[in-house]
Amino acid sequence: MKSHYYMTVVIVLFILSLGVVFIQGCDQASYGVGAALENIVNEPSTWIGSASNALSGKTWSDYKERTEEARARLSNDTHYQLCVRTGTTINEPIDGLAGNMTKVRDLYCSCKAWGTCTTENCSCDILCPENFEILNRGGQEMGPTDNEDFELRNSDASVGKYVPLASGGGLCWGLATMNSRFNHLAFFNPKTPKPTFEYPEDRAKFYKFLIEKVRRNQAVDIAGFASLKEFSSDSQIKELLAEAVGHEWSRLAIGVEGISSISSSSPLDAASAASLVADLKYRTENHQTPSLLFNNAGDSLSAHVVLVTEVKEVPDGTKSILCIKDNAQTAISNNHCGNKMIVDKATGEIIYLGKKVGFCKIAHNENNDVVAQVNSLRGRCLIEKGPACTRTLPRSNFDVPSGTF
Amino acid sequence: MISQLKKYVSIGLVILTPILVTFGSSDFPPNFEAIEKKALQILKDKKVDDDKLLLLYLMAGRELHDYDFLDKSEEYYQKAIDLAVDGAKAEAHINLVGIALNKNDKKTAIQRLENAEKYFAQHPKEKNPGIEEWLKTMDRVLRRAGQGAYTYKGFFGQYVALNDLQSYIEKKEYDKALAMLNPTSITEKTSPIVLISYDILQVLVYGKVEKKKLKCSPIAQKAKKGEKGYTVQICGILQSYLSSNKLSPIQLEKLEKYLSVVHEDKKYLLSAIKDLK
């Protein structure tokens, strides 16, 4: 029965999507949308039954399927990763191993997500895939180092431990979310000069615009800065970032989803913990840094949000380790899995910073964010690869602000 | 209640999600209104009953909220509340307060909080410990900021504390505001608003303080011309004041202009600075 519901959702979503695509060129899509809507209205029980397929979750799942399909398809093609550049031949004597390697490198290019090949010898779909591979940013992924962490820290020094208002905003969800978005979407170019402005108001407007784009999950170039740490250390920019973090926190936390995180502090059972760990492992292995919303067992008000950067297993296989990027801890302590949650596979018990974790789940904004990031990064990639690829560019805001304002 | 709503989550696809599926979090496409109009017309023609409509509106509100389309989300949550259906409207009441706060519209937020309180009084079964905590928090933030003792603890603790800090400064109760802050923990990494509030407050409350004791001094030293945010500008004003015992009208004018353009909601800092005699 469940699969029937699932299929219905897929079909109707497909029709709905078609409706939107059509309507871009003309107004006939109303028909598609209308037909789909009528289906839903006629059979609401079908939609009620398919509860697990919320839009955002469904779309993230679609990308997951696409990622797996692409991997399966491309793994059968032994040449996909390395293609011979078009129009090149070896007609010079090779002088030693080093010269040999250089020439080989010159002759070949990589045909993969963000690869070096042109569209003459590699398709846009492979160079700029519409799946999680696009999140790897061509090997420029930002890792869990303190350079990729905000200078701005959260004041809740540890979960459930109250520290009088002193060291920061205490807006963990906003900090985690914005940190993750910057890690995925900001392209720092230290060698490009920073734009200059006569008046601080103009500079503020410029960076506010960039920060707002990232907040809305759009890729941006940031000239003159080497890293998020450096960017967020600029005192004027830090003020703008703090404002964006506050906005995100209040949007995410002062609502029903925020309330859900403080309504229960019951620990997960072994099966639920295993399922959560498997989900987190998949996401981290697919270039994502999921936001984890949790509280301490027996203290529902102690809710906190961190990012998970990697999932490992202890050698004896009894426990999983979640590497944590925690804005309430020092940026350096987040390096190389310095902060970790330990998950006991037999019992499902999760320990973080010496305390037992209660309620624990991936934050509700995670799927929406990843989906939007895939779209934006793909748009950027397609533009980079030139006219042959931009034909397939979906409508969106991929414009990257220039140095002038 | 929340879990019950989650059961209906897919229904929310009906009105607005086609757009979101295709466009992610980008701006609304120009055809949005046409699709919305069509969707609403179908619902009208089909004579969908109010129970179903409630769920559809709630889910549209939720999805739009998740994608940060707050104006549209607000519209659908309000439609849900306006339906003549009794119950199952907790989400709409709660998120409408959140949206108003997110827009910095306290007057509307207070009205909506009153509506939410009435609603939960009439539907006590829809309350849970999380909602009770939320109601308590919103009451403090919106109606009783800086009034009486409060333990700034847990998930909403820092939010309430920041709100109280601002409230004390706005009410010119500078000693109470200063008492909230722990100077030993304030460093360059501290939230800018907390750091600069501390510096303003220590000069307001203690009078003459050594310039080197201003937490903002190391930050101001690094800032270049054209890169001065409110922290650095206020720091300059405080440093000049500590040297000359006077406020510089030029510096104040520049700060006022900057706050008007960039951080309108922080103009209360300027009012506090002007209290330096």
Convert the pLDDT of each residue in B53-89 to its tens digit: 898 888 788 878 887 889 999 999 999 999 999 988 9
Top-confidence residue, A388 or A321: A321
Nearest-Cα distance to chain A for B208, in Å, is 22
On chain A, the residues whose CB falls within 8 A of the CB of B223 are 235-236
Range B191-195 average pLDDT: 90
Nearest-Cα distance to chain A for B191, in Å, is 4
Q: Is A279 exposed, middle or buried (0-12, 13-18, 19+ CB in 10 A)?
A: middle
Range B196-201 average pLDDT: 96
Range A220-236 average pLDDT: 94
Range B1-24 average pLDDT: 43
Residue owning tokens 């029937």 = A4
Range A207-235 average pLDDT: 94
Predicted pLDDT of residue B135: 96
Nearest-Cα distance to chain A for B101, in Å, is 8
Q: Does A35 touch chain B (CB under 8 A)?
A: no
Given a cut of 50, is residue A399 above it in pLDDT? no
**Contact between A20 and B2 using a beta-carbon 8 Å cutoff:** no
- Classify residue A398: in a domain, yes or no: no
Range A238-252 average pLDDT: 92
On chain A, the residues whose CB falls within 8 A of the CB of B102 are 247, 250-251, 254
Domain boundary among A16, A37, A53: A53
Whether B53 contacts B44, CB under 8 Å: no
Given a cut of 50, is residue B18 above it in pLDDT? no
Range of the domain at A113: 82-140+375-390
On chain B, the residues whose CB falls within 8 A of the CB of A264 are 130
Same domain, A158 and A292: yes
**Contact between A395 and B23 using a beta-carbon 8 Å cutoff:** yes
- Classify residue A151: in a domain, yes or no: yes
Cα–Cα nearest to B232, from B224, B218, B249, B220: B220
Same domain, A196 and A303: yes
On chain B, the residues whose CB falls within 8 A of the CB of A251 are 65, 68, 70, 98, 102
- Classify residue A62: in a domain, yes or no: no
CA gap B204, A159 in Å, rounded: 34
Residue owning tokens 């090779």 = A94
- Predicted-complex ipTM score: 0.87
- Classify residue A401: in a domain, yes or no: no
Same domain, A129 and A44: no
Q: Does A270 touch chain B (CB under 8 A)?
A: no
- Classify residue A299: in a domain, yes or no: yes
Predicted pLDDT of residue A102: 54
Predicted pLDDT of residue B26: 37
Top-confidence residue, B2 or B273: B273
Whether B233 contacts B254, CB under 8 Å: yes
* pLDDT tens readout for residues B104-118: 899 999 999 999 999
Predicted pLDDT of residue A90: 46
- Classify residue A245: in a domain, yes or no: yes
- Classify residue A77: in a domain, yes or no: no
**Contact between B182 and A169 using a beta-carbon 8 Å cutoff:** no
How many of the other CB atoms lie within 10 Å of CB of B58? 27
Same domain, A150 and A115: no
Q: How confident is the model at residue A297 (pLDDT cuts 50, 70, 90)?
A: very high
On chain B, the residues whose CB falls within 8 A of the CB of A250 are 98, 101-102, 159
Top-confidence residue, A3 or A197: A197
Same domain, A206 and A268: yes
Surface of A (90-119) touching B: CB under 8 A: none
Q: How confident is the model at residue A155 (pLDDT cuts 50, 70, 90)?
A: low
**Contact between B14 and A205 using a beta-carbon 8 Å cutoff:** no
Q: Does A263 touch chain B (CB under 8 A)?
A: yes
Residue owning tokens 């059968």 = A76
- The domain locations on chain B are 2-143, 182-273
Nearest-Cα distance to chain B for A308, in Å, is 20
**Contact between A261 and B130 using a beta-carbon 8 Å cutoff:** yes
Given a cut of 50, is residue B196 above it in pLDDT? yes
Range A270-282 average pLDDT: 98
**Contact between B29 and A395 using a beta-carbon 8 Å cutoff:** yes
Q: Name the class of domain B2-143.
A: mainly alpha
For chains A and B, count residue pairs whose Cβ atoms are closer than 8 Å. 314
Same domain, A155 and A226: yes
Predicted pLDDT of residue A400: 34
Given a cut of 70, is residue B10 above it in pLDDT? no
How many domains would you assign to chain A?
3
**Contact between B35 and A19 using a beta-carbon 8 Å cutoff:** yes
Given a cut of 60, is residue B237 above it in pLDDT? yes
Same domain, A127 and A29: no
CA gap B31, A312 in Å, rounded: 46
On chain A, the residues whose CB falls within 8 A of the CB of B155 are 253, 258, 261-262, 295, 301-304
On chain A, the residues whose CB falls within 8 A of the CB of B26 are 216, 218, 372, 375, 395-397
Predicted pLDDT of residue A56: 56
- Among B25, B70, B73, B182, the strongest candidate for a mutation testing the A interface, having the largest count of A CBs within 10 A, is B25
Predicted pLDDT of residue A58: 60
- Classify residue A399: in a domain, yes or no: no
Same domain, A202 and A129: no
CA gap A274, A257 in Å, rounded: 23
* pLDDT tens readout for residues A325-378: 998 888 888 888 999 999 999 999 999 999 999 999 999 889 989 988 998 999
Q: Is A139 exposed, middle or buried (0-12, 13-18, 19+ CB in 10 A)?
A: exposed
**Contact between A262 and B133 using a beta-carbon 8 Å cutoff:** yes
Q: Does A378 touch chain B (CB under 8 A)?
A: no
Q: State which residue of chain B sits closest to A239, comparing Cα positions.
A: B192
Contacts of A111 (CB under 8 A, 6+ apart): A79, A80, A81, A82, A83, A117, A121, A122, A126, A127
Predicted pLDDT of residue B11: 43
